[in-house]
Amino acid sequence: MAGLYRPDEDDGMHRLRGLRFLALAAVLMSAAGCATAPSSTQATAAATTAAAPAAAASAAHGADATPELTLSVDTPDTATASDAQAQDDNAADLQAALEAADNTNVHYADIWQRVRAGFGIPDMDGPGMQRYVQQAVQWYSTKPDYVARMTMRSRKYLYYILQEVQKRHLPTELALLPFVESAFNPDALSSAQASGMWQFIPSTGKHYHLRQTIFQDGRRDVLASTKAALDYLTKLHDMFGDWQLALAAYNWGEGGLQRAIAYNEAHNLPVDYADLRMPAETRNYYPKLQAVKDIIADPAKYGITLPDVPDHPYFKPVPITQDIDVALAARLAGISVDEFRALNPAYRKPVILAATHPRVLLPYDNATAFEQALTAYSGPLASWTTYTVSRTASPQQLARELHLSEATLRSVNTIPGRILIKAGSTLLVPRPPQDDRNVSARVAENAMLALAPVPPAGRRVRLRAWRGDTPRSVARRYHLSPLEVAHWNHMREGERFRPRALLVVYLPQRHIERARHERVATRDHRPREVARNHHERRLTLAQRREELAARRREELAARRREELAARRRAVRVAERERHAHHGTLHVRGATRQDISVAQR
């Protein structure tokens, strides 16, 4: 396998097989002599097997003699139930240590070779999907600068994600999924409010226990979101039995994929990725991952140069037991605030609250220095605390009460303009010098910031729109802002009101008197001169009915006169035709009897 380095591999493997054979013999001997203590036997076998990698490692480094194995098995007389349970736990720990030791015996030149060695999802090379893969490869290969930025960002997180993937025995293609989801940007936020490297929407994040408060967003937490994403992907694989379908469900949602599968099954169609009906984004989702996989497998083929990322952890988690400012934590760790936030993007405020038992990620070489500097530091660790709003107020009023600037209050708590802060909201404010208490867990877990728009100044008045009125014309009439009039009436600034439609404005007292005067004078909110010009429109209902009846009578009489005139014209025409025919008969010499018959 390319990039795999095992010094004196043949000699080491022979020694390793010999050690495992001895371990198996020891297990059989202990099982025969101590059939009543299986847990002790299993623990001893695990311990013996755990020694094998160490022996293989020493053999690989040139050891001449096989190390002696010391087997220790408890007798049934001394093994109690609690001992058995403890030994079971120890066996599990030793097995985990064995797996870790096996991993450490495999040395790779860089992280990319380790990724290649763990590929396990079949390539998407069918004719139905190959064009999508080629399009994705073409897109990445023509943007080397984008790929370089993306891979450089990944060097902070890729080793940890790969460790978690391999610990669960999953294919290493899953460690590349953040390339497609977020380009390894932990601050990424989509239009659907999906956030973090793994792009969890709020509801899915809550389902997988990712804490989302005003102080912390677990969807951006590198450790927590990676665990949640792998849990979710494992669940989807168990549900659909195929990694390509599991990844389609990760993008589309399991409900949508289940419906697509049910449709194909009902129509006797295949149910693989290429044959399912799915949105365009999902159709291109796995091809993008396949393209990333192809580029990492052979970057030179596509003219891409991957950065050197060592096969070594980049960061180390450090627990936080006291509230601490982000700036101070970065200074004690000897890194910039930007570097600190890149590793800890979940913390949204300038202070990290200890009540939620957080762990900060620090560069591997800086973690120990941070712990030492934190122990030696004697000053206050946090300069911020929380304040619960007792009554709805504006940021200006609260800033005055708390003795700080309105700009600081708005900036720290992300409060937009023209907004009121509702009672019960939690704000982050400067901590008094004498206050060294941590923020309580109740506040840290349940804090919320409820905002409400500032009501407009003046009194709310409903008016009738004039013909051709727009928010601009109404604003000119009452000396208001056209934008505000449009906002109050949920329309665009240049849009027209329907004639006589009700509109809402907020007027000062002097304009309220004018509006009331217009309503009394015209009864339809129009000026007097306009009402006089359209006097006929304000006729009473009885007058309008009488006018309509008279008009109908006139129309009926006219219709009758027209019918009578038409009838008279028809009679005259018939008379002329009769006389003309009678004259014709006399000319031809017809008899009197013929003429009388013709006349009839």
Residue range 465-498, pLDDT digits in tens: 888 899 999 988 888 888 888 888 989 888 999 9
Q: DSSP for 54-66, please give it.
A: HHHHHHHTT--SP
For residue 600, being part of any structural domain is answered with no
Tell whether 525 and 471 lie within a shared domain.
yes
Q: Which residue type, as a one-letter code, is found at position 359? A: R
pLDDT score of 394 more than 60: yes
**Contact in structure between 497 and 469 (CB atoms under 8 Å):** yes
Q: CA-CA distance, 225 to 443, in Å (whole number)?
A: 23
Tell whether 132 and 176 lie within a shared domain.
yes
Provide the percentage of residues in the chain whose pLDDT is more than 90.
56
For residue 345, being part of any structural domain is answered with yes
Query: Which tops the pLDDT comparison, 542 or 23?
Result: 542
pLDDT score of 530 more than 60: no
Stretch 438-443: mean pLDDT, rounded?
94
- Structure confidence at residue 588 (pLDDT): 53
- Structure confidence at residue 586 (pLDDT): 54
Query: Which tops the pLDDT comparison, 101 or 595?
Result: 595
pLDDT band at 91 (very low <50, low <70, confident <90, very high): very low
Give the contacts of 206 (CB within 8 A, at least 6 positions apart). Answer: 212
For residue 572, being part of any structural domain is answered with no
Query: Which tops the pLDDT comparison, 71 or 14?
Result: 14
Is 445 assigned a catalytic role?
Answer: no
Alpha carbon 110 to chain centroid distance? 32
Stretch 428-438: mean pLDDT, rounded?
92
Tell whether 482 and 504 lie within a shared domain.
yes
pLDDT band at 357 (very low <50, low <70, confident <90, very high): very high
Tell whether 321 and 254 lie within a shared domain.
no
- Structure confidence at residue 328 (pLDDT): 97
Residue 3: closest CA among 365, 314, 313, 306: 306
Stretch 13-26: mean pLDDT, rounded?
43
**Contact in structure between 102 and 53 (CB atoms under 8 Å):** yes
Q: CA-CA distance, 533 to 526, in Å (whole number)?
A: 11
Tell whether 465 and 439 lie within a shared domain.
no
Which residues on neighbouring strands pair with residue 453, listed in sequence order?
Answer: 419
> Which residues span the domain enclosing 528?
459-536
Coil vs helix vs strand at 451: strand
Query: Which tops the pLDDT comparison, 61 or 543?
Result: 543
Number of structural domains (the chain) is 5
Tell whether 146 and 93 lie within a shared domain.
no
Query: Which tops the pLDDT comparison, 501 or 74?
Result: 501
Give the end of a domain, one of 503, 536, 569: 536
- Structure confidence at residue 21 (pLDDT): 41
Tell whether 486 and 505 lie within a shared domain.
yes
Residue 181: closest CA among 289, 105, 82: 289
Stretch 209-215: mean pLDDT, rounded?
95
Tell whether 238 and 257 lie within a shared domain.
yes
DSSP alpha helix (H) spans, 61-176: 81-104, 111-117, 130-141, 144-154, 158-167
For residue 596, being part of any structural domain is answered with no
**Can you give the CATH number for the domain in which 516 is found?**
3.10.350
For residue 599, being part of any structural domain is answered with no
pLDDT score of 147 more than 60: yes
Give the end of a domain, one of 513, 536, 559: 536
Tell whether 16 and 135 lie within a shared domain.
no
Provide the percentage of residues in the chain whose pLDDT is more than 70.
74
Give the end of a domain, one of 302, 328, 363: 302
What does residue 442 show for φ and ψ, rounded to 5 degrees?
A: -60, -45
For residue 309, being part of any structural domain is answered with no
Stretch 172-189: mean pLDDT, rounded?
96
Q: CA-CA distance, 231 to 245, in Å (whole number)?
A: 16
For residue 288, being part of any structural domain is answered with yes
SS (H, E, C) 465-497: CCCCCCHHHHHHHHCCCHHHHHHHCCCCCCCCC
- Structure confidence at residue 239 (pLDDT): 96
In Å, what is the CA distance from 467 to each residue of 134, 486, 487, 512, 517?
Answer: 60, 17, 20, 21, 19
**Can you give the CATH number for the domain in which 210 is found?**
1.10.530.10
For residue 567, being part of any structural domain is answered with no
pLDDT score of 104 more than 70: no
Strand 4-5 with 324-325, pairing:
unpaired
State the catalytic residue, choosing from 68, 181, 493, 495. Answer: 181
Q: Which range is least confidently modeled, 94-103, 286-295, 426-435, 538-547?
A: 94-103
Cα torsion angle, 200, 201, 202, 206, sign: negative
- Structure confidence at residue 545 (pLDDT): 78
Tell whether 158 and 269 lie within a shared domain.
yes
Tell whether 273 and 209 lie within a shared domain.
yes
Output DSSP code: residue 576: H
Output DSSP code: residue 195: B
Tell whether 243 and 293 lie within a shared domain.
yes
Q: CA-CA distance, 474 to 483, in Å (whole number)?
A: 11
